[in-house]
A and B are shown apart, each in its own frame.
Chain A
Amino acid sequence: MKIVSNLLENIEGIRIYYIIGLLIFVILFIVIFIRTMKRSNTEMEDIKNSILHDNTTEKTLHHN
């Protein structure tokens, strides 16, 4: 672990990592956005409607 902490202590310019993080986010966001938008509307409708039909209860039974 010493080598890890030595390495970390001496990294210069790590402050730009957040810019890199920002770029990663923007790229991933664009990819997720495009791929999500391309998903079938029918499939999306089926999923979001599914929770309105979750009432499968029939009758009360005694739990063992």
Chain B
Amino acid sequence: MENQKFYYDNKTVKLFILATIIWGVVGILVGILAALQLAFPAFNFGLEYTTFGRIRPLHTNAIIFAFVGNAIFAGVYYSMQKLLKTRMFSDRLSKINFWGWQLIIVLAAVTFVLGISTAKEYAELEWPIDILIAVVWVIFGWNMIGTILKRRVQHIYAAIWWYIATFIGVAILHVVNSFELPISLTKSYSIYAGAQDAVVQWWYGHNAVAFFLTTPFLGLMYYYLPKAANRPIYSYKLSIIHFWSLIFLYMWAGPHHLLYQALPEWAQALGVTFSIMLIAPSWGGMINGLLTLRGAWDKVRDSAALKFFVVAVTAYGMSTFEGPMMSLKSVNQITHFTDWTIAHVHIGGMGWNGGLVFGMLYWLIPKLFKTKLFSEKLANIHFWMSTLAILIYAIPLYWSAVTQWLMWREYTPEGYLAYPNFLETLTQILPMYTVRILAGVLFLGGFLVMSFNLFKTMTTGKVEDNEAAEAPALVPAGPRNPVQETVHRWMERKGVRFSVWVFIALVIGGAVEIIPMIFIKSNVPTIDSVKPYTPLELEGRDIYISEGCYVCHSQMVRPFRWETDRYGEYSKIGEFVYDHPYQWGSRRTGPDLGRAGVVGGPMYKNAAWHYNHFLDPQKMNEQSIMPNYAWFAEKDVNLEMTPKKIRAMQTLGVPYEEGYDQKAIDDYMIQAKLIVDDLKASGIEIEPTKQMVAMIAYMHKLGKDISVPGDSETTTSGEAIKENVELLSSQADLDAAKQIFQTTCIVCHGSDGKGIATFPSLVDDEWINGNQPEQVYTSIANGNVAKGMIAYKNQYNEEQITQLASYILLVLNNENSK
């Protein structure tokens, strides 16, 4: 048959490559800034735009959607044209895809630093950008399916199956997870609440890893690895089996992110079961990739591209084994809420995604620009910098995770938590955070070496924007002949039918996971005492969401003794029925806040404490790494939005009385006035409309509705005073007391005992309950809830409390009387 002439569109590929490199540098730089902030809080710069809560989502989104996203498009646009022997379906769609995606990235960056966020991990963008993403994604899919339909080859190669699964998978996930009720251009509420929102979010979050960071990259692996090695993929049969298994199984595994949390047991079992099963198809891909190099390992020695592919496939194998292991409930105890997850995703991100992108670029750019790589030596330097950076990043974080987990659950022989102050467990891992910065700088250094090398390669060659090619036209194969063609072989040449089967395979898992959680009421039992947020609390919650507090603080107490002793009663599914969106978090860089409003509980702090802590956390405890939020005391809540928010909540099913939106502001001011008066009693003047007041109200709401007044909710007044306390004056006792004081009491009373801000001095002549040893002992043991001091008899034994009283009276008072 006569050849047809056509032109490959290399210009779009080139643009996506350039965007990949530029956004890669930006994403890693922002990551280094976030890492710096965790080790040295000064890098929050005291600005609301640069706090960790806003920078962290900027980093994750920049890496996932800007760096990786552009790399996917570059790889797909190049390989699809070559595989299907045709130009992309529409130049206009290609152009809209490219510029639309860049617009999304810029809008994301701007909105994140402005504090416009939905606070749903990896889906933090607000609804107008969500719609833009959907439009651009459909254009990408339209262009892809159109290209498949006008192809000049009969068979659709395996790489393209993965691209199809990527398009359909991401479309389903993005649309379902983004159902939200807008109340303004920059604010919306998730239509799902609490546990339902959590299930949908982690179905999305887990499968964003699957269909944005895995399936497109398996497609790229199936094309670029054989091309770079000049060897066919090891087994095409294996590619068929692992394709269908992987896309089917992935969709079920989301609940493994919510183990031991407020979720029905069946949903947790579902997540664990399918996560373990996922090892098989994942390793099918890894084996297919590695065995492609069978007999060609000599080429790996000479090619940086192949070296990166080997690291990528190996990291994929490690991550996809580690992931299912982390889904086992016993292992998940350690890995969840610690840095283990952070290490895990960076092995995947830096190794698998980074490795494949780097390998692809080293192979593709010389090819595209019809020249040789500028320097193979520089590429090798990049390879070693990048590989070492992965190790230097991951090892300290695994160490950090185990360290912190062991400290969280350590008990003294008397049965008290050995490290009741969360900060102790954090300061222990800060050296590991410093090492992580070095790893990030090393990775960035390697990336810059690559950028220079590739830039020099581009300047020595020339890309043909429209590259001419020839291929025979596609002869229609007609209907299936059952004798000559298997069903799958037939499907492999029917792009649309193939896509429909992919869609069916994908939706089954999601439907089984989500539909019962949303529709079957018995899955979300309600608690009568749980009331909707008051207007003031709702505004406080929106500030919490906007600031991205969820990136460091969870609101989920798991049913372990070491969590209930530290935070309070474990979390119940019915507590969260008015939470649009849920805020359970996934990492505890700070303590869990789910019980911050339980008066007399171990996490309760009074209004003055919160005020001072938000103003300057380091003043309260110099080891704290929390950014300051001084603007909470300066900025007003936009009260014009409050009635709108109440109406939105009513639409979502929150049972405010009819017409409550009209009374919302009055109720807001009444509750705010109580907090203002409380602060005034501590010598703090503030207006009721300030954000600080709303945040304090929200903190005091957390867990309050399900708290049961009990023994812990008592004050010093009326308590029997401990009799015959003999002060301990040995150096060992005083040293032990000093250690407790410096990790616990320092937060309110200061390291010298003189008191911070409005908290009382322990070294002057004014004593609320007296300064006799028995009285000091009793004050420590029973606390003073009205003043925000918890009962430490629940955390320390009698000897430790006696040591503390001795330290205060014998050491601190003596030092200050000199």
Contact B469–A48 (Cβ < 8 Å): no
C-alpha spacing A50/B226, complex, angstroms: 11
- Given contacts A48-B236, A59-B468, list 11 more A-B pairs with CB under 8 A: A14-B520, A15-B264, A18-B266, A22-B273, A25-B245, A38-B486, A39-B488, A52-B226, A56-B469, A60-B466, A61-B7
C-alpha spacing A24/B249, complex, angstroms: 11
Chain A residue numbers with a CB within 8 Å of B153 are 50
C-alpha spacing A56/B6, complex, angstroms: 10
Interface residue? A8 (CB, 8 A) = yes
Interface residues of A (CB under 8 A from B): 5, 8-9, 11-12, 14-15, 17-18, 21-22, 24-25, 28-29, 32-33, 35-39, 43-45, 47-52, 54-63
Contact B241–A32 (Cβ < 8 Å): yes
Chain A residue numbers with a CB within 8 Å of B266 are 15, 18
A4 to chain B minimum Cβ distance, whole angstroms, is: 9
A56 to chain B minimum Cβ distance, whole angstroms, is: 5
State whether A35 and B488 are in contact (beta carbons under 8 Å apart), knowing that A50-B157, A63-B7 are contacts in the complex: yes
Q: Which 6 A-B pairs have the closest CB atoms?
A: A63-B466, A8-B519, A15-B266, A61-B468, A48-B232, A44-B236
Chain A residue numbers with a CB within 8 Å of B249 are 25
Partner of B232, one of A22, A49, A60, A61: A49
Scan residues 232-287 of chain B and give those whose CB is less than 8 A from a CB of chain A: 232-233, 235-237, 240-241, 244-245, 248-249, 252, 264, 266, 269-270, 273, 277
Instruction: In the complex, identify which listed stretch (B212-220, B373-381, B508-516, B655-663) lies at the interface while the others stay far away.
Output: B508-516
C-alpha spacing A14/B515, complex, angstroms: 10
Partner of A35, one of B471, B486, B522: B486
Partner of B5, one of A37, A38, A61: A61
A61's closest neighbor in chain B, by CB? B468
A55's closest neighbor in chain B, by CB? B82
Chain B residue numbers with a CB within 8 Å of A51 are 82-83, 157, 159, 223, 226-227, 232
Contact A21–B509 (Cβ < 8 Å): yes
Contact B516–A17 (Cβ < 8 Å): yes
Between A and B, how many residue pairs show CB distances below 8 Å? 117
State whether A8 and B515 are in contact (beta carbons under 8 Å apart), knowing that A29-B245, A32-B244, A36-B237 are contacts in the complex: yes
Q: Most B CB atoms within 10 A — which of A15, A58, A62?
A: A15
B502 to chain A minimum Cβ distance, whole angstroms, is: 14
Report 20 cross-chain contacts, Cβ distance below 8 Å, ordered by A residue. A5-B519, A9-B519, A11-B520, A14-B515, A21-B252, A21-B508, A21-B512, A22-B273, A35-B487, A36-B241, A44-B235, A45-B236, A50-B155, A51-B159, A51-B226, A51-B232, A52-B232, A54-B83, A61-B7, A63-B7
Chain A residue numbers with a CB within 8 Å of B516 are 11, 14-15, 17
C-alpha spacing A50/B245, complex, angstroms: 24
Interface residue? B735 (CB, 8 A) = no
Contact A58–B470 (Cβ < 8 Å): yes
A23 to chain B minimum Cβ distance, whole angstroms, is: 12
Scan residues 420-469 of chain B and give those whose CB is less than 8 A from a CB of chain A: 464-469
Chain A residue numbers with a CB within 8 Å of B464 are 60
C-alpha spacing A51/B248, complex, angstroms: 26
A1 to chain B minimum Cβ distance, whole angstroms, is: 12
A5 to chain B minimum Cβ distance, whole angstroms, is: 6
C-alpha spacing A40/B387, complex, angstroms: 40
Interface residue? B336 (CB, 8 A) = no
C-alpha spacing A56/B85, complex, angstroms: 8
Chain B residue numbers with a CB within 8 Å of A49 are 232
Q: Most A CB atoms within 10 A — which of B231, B232, B471, B508?
A: B232
C-alpha spacing A62/B464, complex, angstroms: 10
Chain A residue numbers with a CB within 8 Å of B520 are 8-9, 11, 14
C-alpha spacing A63/B465, complex, angstroms: 9
A11's closest neighbor in chain B, by CB? B520
Chain B residue numbers with a CB within 8 Å of A37 are 237
Q: Most B CB atoms within 10 A — which of A17, A49, A54, A57?
A: A54
C-alpha spacing A9/B516, complex, angstroms: 8
Chain B residue numbers with a CB within 8 Å of A63 are 7, 465-466
Chain B residue numbers with a CB within 8 Å of A58 are 468-470
Scan residues 279-327 of chain B and give those whose CB is less than 8 A from a CB of chain A: none
Chain A residue numbers with a CB within 8 Å of B488 are 32, 35-36, 39
Contact A47–B470 (Cβ < 8 Å): no
Interface residue? B489 (CB, 8 A) = yes
Chain A residue numbers with a CB within 8 Å of B269 are 18
Interface residue? B184 (CB, 8 A) = no
Interface residue? B818 (CB, 8 A) = no
Contact B240–A47 (Cβ < 8 Å): no
B81's closest neighbor in chain A, by CB? A54
C-alpha spacing A11/B5, complex, angstroms: 59
B234 to chain A minimum Cβ distance, whole angstroms, is: 9
Contact B512–A39 (Cβ < 8 Å): no
Interface residue? B769 (CB, 8 A) = no
Contact A36–B470 (Cβ < 8 Å): no
B398 to chain A minimum Cβ distance, whole angstroms, is: 32
B407 to chain A minimum Cβ distance, whole angstroms, is: 36
Interface residue? B739 (CB, 8 A) = no
Chain B residue numbers with a CB within 8 Å of A14 are 515-516, 520
Interface residue? B729 (CB, 8 A) = no
Chain B residue numbers with a CB within 8 Å of A24 are 508
Chain B residue numbers with a CB within 8 Å of A25 are 245, 248-249, 277
B85's closest neighbor in chain A, by CB? A56
Contact A32–B252 (Cβ < 8 Å): no
Chain B 495-509, CB within 8 Å of chain A: the 1/0 string? Answer: 000000000000011
C-alpha spacing A52/B181, complex, angstroms: 50
Contact A18–B466 (Cβ < 8 Å): no
B269's closest neighbor in chain A, by CB? A18
A55 to chain B minimum Cβ distance, whole angstroms, is: 8
Contact B248–A18 (Cβ < 8 Å): no
Contact A57–B515 (Cβ < 8 Å): no
Q: Most B CB atoms within 10 A — which of A18, A32, A35?
A: A18
Partner of B270, one of A18, A38, A61: A18
Scan residues 1-15 of chain B and give those whose CB is less than 8 A from a CB of chain A: 5, 7-8
Contact B82–A54 (Cβ < 8 Å): yes
Chain A residue numbers with a CB within 8 Å of B5 are 61
Q: Most B CB atoms within 10 A — which of A14, A32, A35, A63?
A: A63
Interface residue? B230 (CB, 8 A) = yes
